[in-house]
Amino acid sequence: MKISAQPERELMNMDFSGQIAIVTGATKGIGLAVTQSFIDAGASVIGIYGVDAQAAERVKQDLEAGERLRLIQCDVSDYNQVKKLYDDIEHEYEFIDILVSNAGIRRDSVLAMMPYEDWQRVIDVNLTGSFAMAKHAVMLMMKKKYGRIIFITSPMSYLGFAGQANYSASKAGQIGMMRSLSKETAKRKITVNCVSPGFIETDLIANLTEDQVRQYKTMVPLKRFGKPKEVADAVLFLSGKNSAYITGSVLEINGGI
């Protein structure tokens, strides 16, 4: 069989011109890197942030994306806020192409001493927030019979660190939800996957002590923490048309853990 040569840009088309992406947790860390990468690739981004309006304003100024970046404050754990968000999006845009459910928090404590409020808040933001965002995204994607949904999960979903029972449970839940949703939406040409970053240089691990940093780096075969842009590259791949046959999968970005 003869294989014809094609330009690299055709083999890996990362042009998102005309597409609309929703990114939660869009103003910091991995979410910011994803937002910037989509903007650079021609997409319009609806960036969702929680409470830090000043950070959102800085991002708006720094990215200089004009009308292709809209930042909206929304608590993804509040179902009514998410519903209103999508009602407004449907009114203005009619449909969306991509959802990156990235918003996440940690409130670490050994389980026996963990306050119920810390357990519930992590589950509400990380897992219930992903459910609410995906539920409404699917309804808009079905209009176009096309879509890409990506949950940002974690190796803690299966490794489990002491003091992270709530976080690990929320991330494992995302993977289970993704596998079920991918089967429900496949006939509509909506793919659903997870990206699972390991130790990435973001605010989420900024409170680690020097001893913890040294210890965790020894766990990583590549002997370093990852960069947010390296995660964003994986997200864009799964968001593109070249990934049409990938669904129900977890892509690990963890340096070999």
Query: What pTM was computed for the model?
Result: 0.92
**What integer is the mean pLDDT of 67-96?**
96
Work out how many domains the chain is built from and give that number. 1
Asked whether residue 156 carries a pLDDT value surpassing 70, the answer given is yes
Q: Is residue 191 part of a domain?
A: yes
The domain that holds 154 is classified in CATH as 3.40.50.720
Residue 146 is among the residues annotated as catalytic for this protein: no
- Sheet strands side by side (includes 250-253): 69-73, 44-49, 20-24, 98-101, 147-152, 190-197, 250-253
Asked whether residue 3 carries a pLDDT value surpassing 70, the answer given is no
Token code pair at residue 158: 């299966």
> Which residue range forms the structural domain that includes residue 180?
16-253
The single residue of 79, 158, 167, 245 carrying the catalytic annotation is: 167
Mean pLDDT, rounded, of the chain:
93
Confidence of residue 2 (pLDDT cuts 50, 70, 90): very low
Q: Is residue 3 part of a domain?
A: no
Distance between CA atoms of residues 131 and 97, nearest Å: 17
Asked whether residue 63 carries a pLDDT value surpassing 60, the answer given is yes
DSSP per-residue letters across 115-182: -HHHHHHHIIIIIIHHHHHHHHHHHHHHHHT-EEEEEE--GGGTS--TT-HHHHHHHHHHHHHHHHHH
DSSP per-residue letters across 148-159: EEEEE--GGGTS
Tracing tokens 């900024």 back to the chain, one arrives at 206
Handedness of CA 32, 33, 34, 40 (dihedral sign): positive
Q: What is the pLDDT of residue 64?
A: 87
Q: Is residue 44 part of a domain?
A: yes
Q: Is residue 20 part of a domain?
A: yes
Asked whether residue 9 carries a pLDDT value surpassing 50, the answer given is no
Q: Is residue 6 part of a domain?
A: no
